[in-house]
A and B are shown apart, each in its own frame.
Chain A
Amino acid sequence: MKTKKRIILGLALALGWTLAQAQVKVGVTVSATGPAASLGIPEKNTVEMLPKEMAGQKIEYLVLDDASDTTNAVNNTRKLIAENQVDVVMGSTVSPNALAMIDVVAEAKVPMISFAAGDKVISPVDEKRHWVFKTPQSDKMMTEAIVEHMVASGVKTVGFIGYSDAYGESWYQSLSEAIAAKGLQLVVNERYNRTDTSVTGQVLKIVGAKPDAVLIAGSGTPAALPQKTLKERGYAGKIYQTHGVVNPDFLRVCGRDCEGTFLPSSPVVVAPQLPDSHPAKAAGVEYFQLYESKYGKGSVTQFGSYVWDAGKLLAAALPEALAKAKPGTPEFRAALRDAIEHLKEVPAANGVYTMSPTDHLGLDHRARVMLRIESGQWKYIP
């Protein structure tokens, strides 16, 4: 009898202790395997670096892998919400996955912070996207940076080659709008697959159209193939890549064919090279050093920094949400969403976030820089 009583007492104490120590649960789904693994792996690494305590609360991270697959991302989200009762969902790595997750989080009324770059993830902010925020710069901001640079260097005609999926399509849309606004001309539009072994056909067509500059809208190492083929076919114009290529493996695979390539990027990639006055320098250098100390020199990519900034947003929003409700309740989730939307001038590794009811990204021109590849390194162009 005595033991039984003790057990009951122990259970009651444990229960009371858990209630008092109610922790904030963060559910994360990333594409750590599959085609987007090169983006998902640094993201997963960064989740491990996020603070385990924010605003005096213990934070518990539950990380699942969706294998770059949309169905898995949706299932993971449902699982995190229904089984683990998470307070906020983070992820996923690629836009198709993040887009599919919107319905799930909106239905369950759980705030979500996406690491996927697609504009459609957060815009327009409608009844469903009410719950969705994201940390990566939109393609539109990056395209503007590219087009500004093109105009400044006297480019008149532009060629485009991108992935034949939502990523390429989204880049094509934002590029054609941006260059039309600046009076440039898009002369050729080609597509290829991440898994393609040859893009000779597409490149011949581009070379035949003789554009002053070509934008390659790919990500990671598959973006090297069109560039290598362009050089092989003697294309002499300017080549632009997107911020999707910023990882050391891209430089390794592309080698000397990528010298002189221009690309927009998040300031975090060149954080140590930034002038001290840059608002993203402090947070960027902090992340940069932390990541390099853990995963080796030259390992920093912006993909991981999206996760880092999601952590920054969460840390900044938690005090307001905690003042209103207890973690684990629907009220807390709603309060957390409101708190994220109220964030003003939060300095982070990718720039400065100022959310509003119509803008769930909150970044401005301070969140992008132009880089040039010089002797196998990213060089900041002021």
Chain B
Amino acid sequence: MDSSIALILTQDGIVNGAVYVLLALALVLVFTVTRIIFIPQGEFVAFAALTLAMLENGRFPGTVWLVLAAGLAVCVMEAGALVARHDWRYRLQVLGWNLAYPLVLWALAATIDWREAGQWGRIAFTLALIVPLGPMMFRVFFQPIAAAPVLVLLIVAVAVHVALVGLGLWMFGAEGYRTLPLWDENFLVGPLRIPGQAIWVVGASLALIVLLAQFFSRTIYGKALRATAVNRNGARLMGISPNLAGRLTLMLSAAIGAVSGILVSPITTIYYDTGFLIGLKGFVAAIIGGLAAYPAAAAGALLVGLLESFSSFWASAYKEVIVFTLIIPVLFWRSLRTHHVEEEEE
């Protein structure tokens, strides 16, 4: 191995790692605020990438039906409150977001020829489709059991993941897709050939991290989420609605997942079930951060990316084994360093 190969592998590792960073951050965010180990995180990645691919190919994206169905499910679950609460603002809000908005999306998907809409138009529409899935998913699956133990939440998360993978096969088919790159240029730097898309991936990840940091330190909603993460009951006493916090968190996580999917789909082929493995690697990184620390999770994600690219050079047959074995010494080290805290009883 010479230095140029090492450089190329490092570049590859950083580009992959940048996506894992985003997913690790989303997983840490969801876990700290809602205590859900959010297995379906990867599905947002795959669904966003495949929705974009469908729009590029001029096909009707199945995610439209998913949003319609999820919105309808939310309306059904809110039906009691809709009748009982004589609050027009509340009624308008629920019906607007969960019934009218999906219908508008459906109308847009059916009438516009997205092949002509330009790359940014398609990306915007993809985000408009994927992001609302987060809060809807929270309302339907997690809000009714928000106080349940972590294990129950995990099991529900696994169930949601399995259901979504099945729906993914139904909506997009078994074959993989690649989307058009945002920037089809290549830059030669010494022995390195840096594709424009790789710069996009790393740049967008960094930008998103900065945005998140600003959101959490400057805005009232960001502070509310932080407060909920620090102490759920305390935050509730201060008037922060745990349901609002949950919906907001899943909206952020869906947005992060969708952006990751849009970023990686030009450099790799995405299948309906790709999301799980990408999410799992983000999860390994999040574990390195103890599912609580953002910088450690980000560093862990870069480590996973680099480890992956170097092990694929040295021992390609054992790449996955090496990456997932990393979790064992990390857990061992963490268990020695931290005192075990029993999960709080509610």
Shortest beta-carbon distance from B16 to chain A in Å: 6
Q: B229-264 toward A: CB 8 Å interface, digit per residue (1/0)?
A: 000000000000000000000000000000000001
**Interface of chain A, main secondary structure:** helix
B317 CB within 8 Å of chain A? yes
Q: Is A201's CB under 8 angstroms from B313's CB? A: yes
Instruction: Identify which of A41, A197, A204, A208 gathers the most chain B CB atoms within 10 Å of its CB.
Output: A197
Q: Which residues of B contact A311 (CB under 8 A)?
A: none
A-B contact count, CB below 8 Å? 91
Contact A198 B313, CB 8 Å, known A33-B166, A253-B176: no
Distance in angstroms between the alpha carbons of A197 and B8 in the assembled complex: 16
- In the assembled complex, how far is the CB of residue B306 from the closest CB belonging to chain A, in whole angstroms? 11
DSSP majority for the B interface? helix
Residues of B within 8 A of A34 (CB): 273
Pair B310/A201 contact, Cβ less than 8 Å: yes
A193 touches B9 (CB 8 A): no
- Contact across chains for A202 and B313 when beta carbons are under 8 A apart: yes
Q: Name the contact of A253 in the complex, choosing from B8, B177, B313, B316 (C-beta under 8 A).
A: B177
A291 on the B face (CB < 8 A): no
* Residue pair A220, B274 in contact (C-beta under 8 Å): no
User: What is the CA–CA distance of A14 and B44 in the complex, to the nearest angstrom?
Assistant: 54
- CB-nearest residue of chain B to A37: B174
Looking across the interface, which residue of chain A has its beta carbon closest to that of B276? Answer: A195
Indicate the member of A35, A192, A195 with the most B CB atoms within 10 Å: A195
By a CB distance below 8 angstroms, the chain A residues around B47 are none
Among A175-214, those with CB < 8 Å from B are 190-193, 195-202, 204-205, 208
Among B174, B268, B314, chain A packs the most CB atoms within 10 A around the CB of B174
How big is chain B's contact interface, by range?
A: 35 or more
Q: Which of A190, A197, A204, A221 contacts B9 (CB 8 A)?
A: A204
In the complex, B143 has a CB within 8 A of chain A: no
In the bound complex, do residue A200 and residue B312 qualify as a contact, i.e. CB atoms below 8 Å apart? Answer: yes
Residue of B whose beta carbon sits closest to that of A207? B5
CA distance A37 to B312 in the complex (A): 26
Which of B166, B177, B264, B311 is within 8 Å of A197, CB to CB?
B264
Instruction: Give complex CA distance A109, B268 in Å.
Output: 46
Assuming A195-B274, A200-B12, is B313 touching A38 (CB within 8 A)?
Answer: no
Interface flag for B320 (CB, 8 Å): yes
- Contact residues of A with B, CB < 8 Å? 33-35, 37-38, 40-41, 164, 190-193, 195-202, 204-205, 208, 220-222, 224-225, 232, 247, 249, 252-253
Question: Would you mind naming 30 contact pairs between A and B with Cβ atoms under 8 Å apart?
Answer: A33-B169, A34-B273, A35-B273, A164-B316, A164-B317, A164-B318, A164-B320, A191-B317, A192-B312, A193-B319, A197-B16, A197-B264, A197-B274, A198-B16, A198-B312, A199-B312, A199-B316, A200-B8, A200-B9, A201-B9, A201-B309, A201-B311, A201-B316, A204-B5, A204-B9, A205-B313, A208-B5, A221-B269, A222-B176, A253-B176
Other 13 A-B pairs with CB < 8 A, given A197-B267, A198-B267 = A164-B319, A192-B312, A192-B319, A198-B268, A199-B312, A201-B9, A201-B12, A202-B313, A202-B316, A208-B5, A221-B271, A252-B175, A253-B269
